[in-house]
Amino acid sequence: HPAAARQLCKIMGFAVDGSVADYREVGRHIPFVRFTPTT
């Protein structure tokens, strides 16, 4: 959903031109947390 991706980037303070490379660059700056179950 390109419109949702643009809006999310805008809300988070990133300026994107809509290119795949631009979205990848944004992805490199977004912190992610991974939860894994413990056994």
At 1-39, the pLDDT tens digits run: 889 999 999 999 999 999 999 999 999 998 888 899 997
Instruction: Kindly tell me the burial class for residue 26, based on how many C-beta atoms sit within 10 Å of its own C-beta (0-12, 13-18, 19 or more).
Output: middle
User: Would you state the structure tokens that stand for residue 19, as one six-digit string?
Assistant: 């290119």
pTM for the whole structure = 0.65
Please name the amino acid found at residue 11.
I
> Which residue matches tokens 């988070």?
12
In eight-state DSSP terms, residue 30 is S
Indicate the length of the chain as a whole number.
39
Whether residue 2 is contained in a domain is answered as: yes
Total of domains in the chain: 1
Which domain does 16 fall in, by range? 1-34
Whether residue 39 is contained in a domain is answered as: no
